Amino acid sequence: MTDTGPYTAQKPPIAESPERLRERIPGWGADLDPINRPSATRLQWQEDTGAHWEFPERQPEKWPRERSVEHKMLTPVFGTACPPRWLSGAIRRYSYARYSEGRSARWLLFVLADRIDAFENHVESFLRLRPDNPITETGVKSEFTHHGLRSRLGQHRADLKHQPLDPIIVAGPWAAAAGGAYVGARRLVDSLRG
Amino acid sequence: MRAMVYRGPYKVRVEEKDVPPIEHPNDAIVRVTLAAICGSDLHLYHGLMPDTRVGMTFGHEFIGVVHEVGSSVQNLQPGDRVMVPFNIYCGSCWFCKRGLFGNCNNTNANNYAVGAYYGYSHTAGGYDGAQAEYVRVPFADVGPSRIPDWMDDEDAVTLTDACPTGYFGAQCGDIVEGDVVIVFGAGPVGLYAARSAWLMGAGRVIVIDHLDYRLEKAREFAFAETYNFTQYGDIVLEMKKTTDFFGADVAIDAVGCEADGAFFQHVTAAKLKLQGGGSPVALNWAIDSVRKGGTISVMGGYGPLFSNVKTGDLMNKGITLHTNQCPVKRQWPRLFDHVRNGYLKPGELVTHRVPLEHIAEGYHIFSAKLDGCIKPLVVPTAV
Ligand SMILES: NC(=O)c1ccc[n+]([C@@H]2O[C@H](COP(=O)([O-])OP(=O)(O)OC[C@H]3O[C@@H](n4cnc5c(N)ncnc54)[C@H](O)[C@@H]3O)[C@@H](O)[C@H]2O)c1
Ligand SMILES: [Zn+2]
Ligand SMILES: [Zn+2]
């Protein structure tokens, strides 16, 4: 006789009975009844949220705050971290003003601005004499203090295949900048020598 | 004050910043006593979330002491010890009034689609976060709660995101008694989700990851069966076999956009950033592992762009997809009961306590999964 298992009206049986599960697992079934699950009904009227306003007072806008064109107006409350500045800021402002959230261009411009922003800030960090330090800022020191090798060797980790890419992502732009500076300096020296 | 600051992909440092001012009458300024690093922070740290600006302070899981309150704050006073949900929300818009605290319409000017969260890039509203000595808490009468006397700090801080998100993730699976539940990802969110699935009456809970030490935790903390996907040629087929070729009733994606397991997908999405929405490996495995008519709960975080999701199988199998940013405060009363009854001890997943001054090491350890790290906390200096 063949085992017809999943081809009948019954589900394959569970090995453990509810009694056994209740014994083994603290609180098993405590929220079996959806009434006990706070988000079982996803949209549920909340009488008291703590809000004592119908519409919140408006936070003062201290600089022209960028906002999504999918919003009818600036939200009454908004974050004030890192106002846009320089070229990265101009790109971000443009993208916010121009594209809806449905457009890929909006997000790709942000990705571009993010890379430019990192570059701008690295340059500034040198000018301000608080230079970025890729060694301390990546925390790689912890490889030596927190078992970098033992955490990887003999494990069945899938991420080992691509972790070698991380230093390239971090150091690549630095190496490119250093290489560019070196080539530029040599050209300058050569041209000065005539 | 001292604050963690993002310096570009894979780089963070501690800088001196001004203590944030009150910007709105219902703001509070909270002195942070304990914060955490979340798997979501890794997406920022790796440069995957668009409009993550250099100079931003991350951190959306925290507890602290109220330092100052704005003129309209009624429910809190300086000196109160508070736990703060990661959602920033007004409590009065259409969405908040219906319990969608993660989808407030009044707090994220940058995006309609995304709610607002502390320290989570401008895509989530451009608020500085709490891996710092002080943080601005908007709508102080709505989000924060006083920490109950009986609750310990490490339970409280894990209850501001990771634990309620796992618990919410299990609810989004609409589990009925005896269901077979597969949880993809044995990070904090996955482990809490697996543990919560039992509360809802699951008959079998299976956890999948590639980190053996986390799978060990899944057996111990979440009483789950575990599979290391690198040990099977085809993890989907393995899931079919272990369910007598029926498929699981419910799958929970607690992995998100940096999913491993398919080199090409991971590298194009997480490293080269060519799939702006992220690597959908775990979500696709979930789609292929549940039975026809099953349910998938997506807790994993993805970027705002496209990715290669197997929409065909999703439709052919009649799968129900439930997902959201967790409305944290809605989960609290019931979760507090569970903690009090001893059904759940959220602080058990904390493995590392990192001084704020060593934040760069903290991020690296958590990101590279060193030293058995599951949940790292950040301890600001001025406490
Ligand atoms: N919806 C929400 O409200 C909410 C809240 C918090 C976190 N999140 C998201 O939840 C996800 C998990 O958070 P976390 O703190 O547990 O992160 P984490 O990085 O600690 O955990 C992710 C785990 O997934 C594992 N993994 C990678 N690829 C896998 C695959 N293909 N199959 C199975 N496992 C795989 C990793 O090894 C890791 O253990 C993140 O994407 C985060 O953004 C969502
Ligand atoms: Zn989080
Ligand atoms: Zn709202």
Residues 6 or more apart whose CB falls under 8 angstroms from that of B123 comprise A110, B49, B50, B51, B52, B110, B111, B114, B304
Measured CA to CA, the distance from residue B11 to residue A135 in angstroms comes to: 9
Which CATH topology does B165-323 take?
A: Rossmann fold (3.40.50)
- Residue A174 counted as domain residue: no
Does B40 contact ligand 1 (Cβ within 6 A)? yes
Mean residue pLDDT across chain A: 90
Residues A172 and A174: their CA atoms lie apart, in Å, by 5
Q: Given this model, what pLDDT does residue B275 score?
A: 64
The percent of residues in chain B predicted with pLDDT above 70, rounded, is 98
Question: For residue B36, what are its two tokens?
Answer: 């955490």
Residues 6 or more apart in contact with residue A186 via CB below 8 angstroms: none
Question: Would you give the DSSP letter of residue B177?
Answer: T
Position A7 scores a pLDDT of 92
CA proximity to B372, closest of A148, A133, A49, A184: A148
The DSSP annotation for B221-260 comes to HS--EEEEGGGSS-HHHHHHHHTTTS-EEEEEE---TB--
* pLDDT at residue A76 is higher than 70: yes
- Locate B382 and state its tokens: 């001025």
User: Which of A106-110, A159-163, B124-128, B376-380 bottoms out in mean pLDDT, i.e. has the lowest?
Assistant: A159-163
**pLDDT tens-digit readout, B243-287:** 999 999 999 999 999 898 877 777 777 776 666 678 899 999 999
Tokens, residue B106: 């009044």
d(CA A146, CA B358): 13
Residue B53 has pLDDT above 70, yes or no: yes
Q: What value does the mean pLDDT of chain B take?
A: 96
Cβ distance A121 to B8 under 8 Å? yes
Q: Is residue B17 within a helix (H) or strand (E), and if so which, with residue range? A: none
Q: Domain B2-161+327-379, what fold?
A: Quinone Oxidoreductase; Chain A, domain 1 (3.90.180)
Domain membership of residue A146 as a residue range: 64-71+81-154
Name the β-bridge partners of B250. Answer: B181, B295
pLDDT at A96: 98
Q: What is the pLDDT of residue A1?
A: 46
* The dihedral formed by the CA atoms of B108, B111, B112 and B115, expressed in degrees to the nearest 10: -50
For residue B289, pLDDT beyond 50? yes
Model confidence at B79: pLDDT above 90: yes
Please answer whether residues B168 and B65 qualify as being in contact, where contact means their C-beta atoms are separated by less than 8 angstroms: no
End-to-end CA distance of chain A: 94
Query: How, if at all, do strands B350-355 and B180-184 pair?
Result: unpaired
Per-residue pLDDT band for A173 (boundaries 50, 70, 90) equals low
Contact (Cβ atoms closer than 8 angstroms) between residue A67 and residue A97: no
pTM assigned to the model? 0.95
Q: Which residue has the higher pLDDT, B375 or A186?
A: B375
For ligand 1, say whether the CB of B211 is within 6 Å of any of its atoms: yes
Q: Which residue has the tokens 């009206």?
A: A9
Residue for token digits 């971290």?
Answer: A81
CB under 8 Å to A163, separation ≥6 — which residues? Answer: B368
At A174, is the pLDDT very low, low, confident or very high (cuts 50, 70, 90)? Answer: low
Question: For a pLDDT cut of 90, what percent of chain B falls above it?
Answer: 92
The SS3 assignment for B13 reads: strand
Q: Which residues of A touch B364 (CB under 8 A)?
A: 138-140, 142-143
d(CA B324, CA A80): 25
Quick check: B229 pLDDT over 60?
A: yes
Helix (H) or strand (E) holding A48: none
Q: Which of A79, A101, A147 sits opposite B112 (nearest CB)?
A: A101
pLDDT digits (tens, 9 = 90+) for A12-31: 999 999 999 999 999 999 99
Integer Cα distance of B74 and B317 in angstroms? 51
Cβ neighbour number for residue A34 with a 10 Å cutoff? 14
The DSSP output letter for B351 is E
By most ligand atoms within 8 Å of CB, the mutation choice from B189, B195, B226, B308 for ligand 1 is B189
So what's the pLDDT on residue A188?
75
Q: How many domains does chain A fold into? A: 1
Instruction: Give A1 to chain B, closest Cα distance, Å.
Output: 16
Coil vs helix vs strand at B185: coil
pLDDT at B382 over 60: no
C-beta of B256 in contact with ligand 1 (< 6 A): yes
Which of A128-137, A181-190, B126-135, B297-306 has the largest mean confidence? B126-135
End-to-end CA distance of chain B: 12
Q: What is the pLDDT of residues B107-164, one digit of tens each?
A: 999 999 999 999 999 999 999 999 999 999 999 999 999 999 999 999 999 999 999 9
Domain ranges (residues) in chain B: 2-161+327-379, 165-323
> How close, in Å, is residue A165 to chain B by CA atoms?
8
* ipTM given for this complex: 0.94
Phi and psi angles of residue B337, each rounded to the nearest 5 degrees, phi first: -60, -45
Cα torsion through B81, B76, B327, A70, rounded to 10: -130
Residue B203 contacts A where some CB pair is shorter than 8 Å? yes
Higher-confidence residue of B381 and B131: namely: B131
Kindly state the average pLDDT of the residues B73-83: 98
Exposed/middle/buried for residue B346 (C-beta within 10 Å: 0-12, 13-18, 19+)? buried
> Which chain B residue's Cα is nearest to A67?
B110
Q: Please give the residue that has the higher pLDDT: either A3 or A124.
A: A124
- In whole angstroms, how far apart are CA B361 and each of A42, B14, B56? 39, 11, 18
Nearest to B253 by CA among B277, B280, B230, B227: B280
Give the pLDDT confidence score for residue B198 in this predicted structure.
Answer: 98
Six-digit token string for B96:
């908040």
CA dihedral over B27, B32, B37, B42, signed as positive or negative: positive
Query: What is the pLDDT at residue B197?
Result: 98
Atom of ligand 1 nearest to the CA of B262: 31
**Is residue A142 one of the residues assigned to a domain?**
yes
The DSSP result for B265-278, as a single string, is HHIIIIIS--STT-
Residue of A nearest to B21 (CA): A80
The answer as to whether A138 is a domain residue is yes
Tokens of B359: 């934040």
Nearest to B218 by CA among B261, B263, B171, B184: B184
